[in-house]
Amino acid sequence: MATGEFAAHAVHAHAAPTSWIRRYVFSLDHKVIGLQYFFLALTAVFVGMFLSLLMRIHLIWPAAALPLLGEIKPETYLTLLTMHGTIMVFFVLTTAPQGGFGNYFLPIQIGAPDMAFPVLNMLSFWVTALAFFCDDGRLLCGRRRTAPRLDRLSAA
């Protein structure tokens, strides 16, 4: 185990960033990446929770006309169920505890200056974020070309 030699020269894997984009968007710092994961999960959990609320409303008042969304049809109920499960399992329960807090506190708790591969770490987050937008981009942006029905609102 090379921990001794590693810790002996306390050099950080990369210099502190100077530009805003390198500091907050494409950051290599595990603390910033951890927070990015955390806020991605925070966004996702509120989206997922909203979908579950629509399901609960539909179960009790199936004919209710909701503001902006109209009536929830049975097949829309199945899309709500699909998206609620996907968002909650992948983008909340997998993302927040491991990607978020793990990224932020694993290096600090074991006494390391950063993760082993900072660039890979940045890529991991942005691929995950891309996956989220691929899944829910339209849901979040809310761009609607036709009638604002829920089944058209969500792209994937």
Partner 1 sequence: MVGGAPLHGWTGYPPLSALQSAGPGEGLGADLWVTSIALFCIGALMSALNFITTTLDMRARGMTLMRMPLTCWAWFITAILGLLAFGVLLSAGILLLLDRNAGTSFFVPLVTINGQLTGHKGGSPLLWQHLFWFFGHPEVYIAILPAMGLCSQLLSVFSRKPIFGYKAMVYAMLSIGFLGFMVWGHHMFMSGMSPYTAFAFSVMTMAIGVPSAIKTFNWLGTIWRGRIRFTSPMLFALGFVSLFISGGISGPFLAQPVLDIPLHDTYFVVGHFHLIMGVASIFGIFGATYYWFPKMFGRMMNESLARWHFFVTLIGTYAVFMPMHYLGMAGHLRRYSQLTELNYLHGLVPLQTFMTYAAFLTIAGQFIFLFNLFWSMKFGKKAADNPWEATTLEWTTATPPPHDNFGGHMPVVYNGPYEYSVPGAPRDFVMQNDPATVEAH
Rounded-to-integer distance, Cα 116 and Cα 80, Å:
39
Tokens describing residue 139: 């849901």
Closest separation in Å from C-beta 136 to partner 1: 8
Task: Assess 142 for contact with partner 1 (CB under 8 A).
Answer: no
* Bridge partner list, 66: 70
Task: Assess 68 for contact with partner 1 (CB under 8 A).
Answer: no
Check: CB of residue 3 under 8 Å from CB of residue 110: no
Q: For partner 1, which is the closer residue by CB, 24 or 46?
A: 46
Task: Assess 43 for contact with partner 1 (CB under 8 A).
Answer: no
Closest C-alpha among 32, 20, 16 to residue 100: 32
Task: Among 18, 20, 21, 60, indicate the residue that binds partner 1 (CB under 8 A).
Answer: 60
Q: For partner 1, which is the closer residue by CB, 67 or 74?
A: 74
Task: Among 36, 44, 47, 76, indicate the residue that binds partner 1 (CB under 8 A).
Answer: 76
Task: Assess 64 for contact with partner 1 (CB under 8 A).
Answer: no
Q: For partner 1, which is the closer residue by CB, 68 or 82?
A: 82
Task: Assess 46 for contact with partner 1 (CB under 8 A).
Answer: yes
Contacts of 140 (CB under 8 A, 6+ apart): 43, 47, 133
Task: Assess 44 for contact with partner 1 (CB under 8 A).
Answer: no
Helix 118-141 and helix 74-86, axial crossing angle in degrees, nearest 10: 160
Task: Assess 67 for contact with partner 1 (CB under 8 A).
Answer: no
DSSP 90-124: IIIITIIIIIIIIHHHHHHHTT-SS-S-HHHHHHH
- Footprint of partner 1 on 85-114 (CB under 8 A): 85-86, 88-94, 96-114
Amino acid at the residue 156 = A
Closest separation in Å from C-beta 48 to partner 1: 10
